[in-house]
């Protein structure tokens, strides 16, 4: 209430270097219906009850992120020592650092969010990887002098974990696309079988109607 809201990264550089490889391996091992959960203590302090808590999961072409708590924002004092209220989101909002943009997920592909999963966002994995692979154009400052694109790169951990995470996500995306193709084929086969069953049912009904003798009317 007394301070201006300011953006903070989901993971500090030290945290990202520590968990990126583990998250990539966990996503690779997770089943299509499973999630990967993370819970990190507040960095650079001896003890704190505040943690960064959330989950990641792949569904089709989208990577979904759910954030339940962040260690940068202190836990509200309930005055009675009660446990944290699940509805307390500390006024947080999730944003994606540009130029990447959050995906607009169609209703048919939207996950069934739990009641207290209000803070979530989705990314189109293929679009993000294609955007990161494309060369960044040189930008200009206010004076009109061109500066190299490297000057605008985000400060973060070494490229090793990030490259490994990208490779794992690319492999997962390929596996998901293959799985989706198989599911589409199975769906088409099921539709063909249903059509054949319906045709056979109609033929049987017609054959039965031909065999049944006409009903005789009672004599007056």
Q: Count the neighbouring beta carbons within 10 Å of the beta carbon of residue 12.
A: 19
Q: Please tell me whether the overall predicted TM-score, pTM, comes out greater than 0.85 for this model.
A: no
E strand residue ranges, the chain: 36-41, 51-59, 62-69, 120-124, 139-140, 146-147
Burial 43-76 (b: 16+ CB within 10 A, else e): eeeeeeebbbbbbbbbbbbbbbbbbbbbbbeebe
Sign of the dihedral defined by the CA atoms of residues 19, 61, 9, 82, in that order = negative
- Cβ atoms of residues 119 and 92 within 8 Å: yes
Q: How far is residue 27's CA from residue 121's CA, in Å, rounded to a whole number?
A: 17
Confidence of residue 39 (pLDDT cuts 50, 70, 90): very high
- Cβ atoms of residues 171 and 125 within 8 Å: no
When mean pLDDT is compared across 34-38, 106-110, 144-148, 186-190, the lowest value belongs to: 144-148
Confidence of residue 23 (pLDDT cuts 50, 70, 90): very high
Confidence of residue 138 (pLDDT cuts 50, 70, 90): very low
Instruction: Check whether 34 has a pLDDT greater than 90.
Output: yes
Which of residues 89 and 83 earns the better pLDDT score?
89
**Looking at residues 70-80, what average pLDDT do you find?**
68
- DSSP at 134: S
In the chain, what is the greatest distance between 2 CA atoms, to the nearest angstrom?
108
Residue whose tokens read 């446990």: 83
Which of residues 148 and 92 earns the better pLDDT score?
92
Query: Hey, what are 184's tokens?
Result: 């589409």
Which of residues 157 and 105 earns the better pLDDT score?
105
**What H or E segment, with its residue span, contains residue 66?**
strand 62-69
Q: How far is residue 35's CA from residue 117's CA, in Å, rounded to a whole number?
A: 14
**Looking at residues 122-148, what average pLDDT do you find?**
64
Mean pLDDT of all residues belonging to the chain: 75
Residue whose tokens read 């130029």: 99
CA atoms within 13 A on the CB side of 135: 4
Confidence of residue 202 (pLDDT cuts 50, 70, 90): confident
């Amino acid at each position: 209430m007394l301070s201006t809201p300011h953006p903070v990264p989901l993971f500090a550089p030290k945290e990202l270097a520590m968990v990126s490889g583990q998250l990539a391996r966990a996503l690779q091992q997770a089943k299509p219906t499973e999630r990967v959960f993370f819970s990190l203590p507040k960095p650079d302090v001896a003890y704190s009850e505040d943690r960064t808590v959330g989950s990641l999961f792949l569904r089709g072409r989208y990577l979904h992120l759910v954030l339940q708590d962040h260690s940068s924002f202190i836990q509200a004092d309930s005055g009675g020592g009660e446990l944290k209220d699940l509805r307390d989101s500390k006024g947080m909002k999730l944003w994606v650092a540009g130029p990447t943009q959050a995906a607009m997920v169609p209703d048919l592909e939207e996950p069934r969010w739990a009641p207290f999963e209000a803070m979530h966002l989705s990314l189109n994995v293929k679009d993000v990887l294609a955007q990161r692979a494309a060369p960044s154009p040189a930008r200009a400052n206010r004076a009109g002098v061109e500066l190299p694109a490297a000057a605008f790169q985000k400060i973060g951990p070494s490229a090793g974990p990030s490259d490994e995470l990208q490779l794992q996500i690319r492999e997962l995306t390929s596996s998901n696309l293959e799985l989706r193709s198989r599911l589409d084929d199975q769906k088409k086969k099921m539709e063909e079988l249903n059509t054949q069953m319906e045709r056979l049912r109609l033929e049987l009904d017609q054959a039965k109607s031909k065999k049944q003798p006409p009903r005789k009317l009672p004599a007056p």
